Amino acid sequence: MENKQPADNSAADSLQSHFTEEDLAKLYDYPSIGQLFSEPDTRRLDEFCQRLKATRENLERVVRYGDRASSERATRAIRAVEVTLDFLQSLKEMRQ
């Protein structure tokens, strides 16, 4: 899974151009997301992202060593983790 293409920042840029501060404020009403961004420092967010990265690494092991059905499920889960990490990174950049 490490042969990932370089990130295309145009997607993040287009996200930023479509969201307003009001949209972000509504998003932070979700407690789990709001807690990640509740403090000026990014420790909570960084810790959460580290846990997601560890989860992705564990899922990659399942893809490599698991049976076919498990590998397929793990591949879909990896994609979900990567989308979540990208989403959180975009929010972090928008906040700064």
Give one DSSP letter per residue of 40-57, joined into a string.
SS-HHHHHHHHHHHHHHH
Question: What does pTM read for this prediction?
Answer: 0.67
Written as six digits, the tokens of 45 are 């967010």
**Whole-number pLDDT of residue 25:** 61
**38 — pLDDT class (breaks 50, 70, 90):** confident
- What CA–CA distance (Å, rounded) separates 59 from 74? 5
What is the average per-residue pLDDT within 40-60? 91
Which of the pair, 66 or 2, is modelled with greater confidence?
A: 66
SS3 32: helix
The per-residue pLDDT for range 22-35, each reduced to its tens digit, is: 666 666 555 577 77
What b/e string do you get for 43-59 counting C-beta neighbours within 10 Å, with b at 16 or more? eebeebbeebeeebeeb
Written as six digits, the tokens of 94 are 């928008």
Per-domain residue ranges of the chain: 42-96
Whether 72 shows a pLDDT value over 80: the answer reads yes
Which of the pair, 83 or 38, is modelled with greater confidence?
A: 83
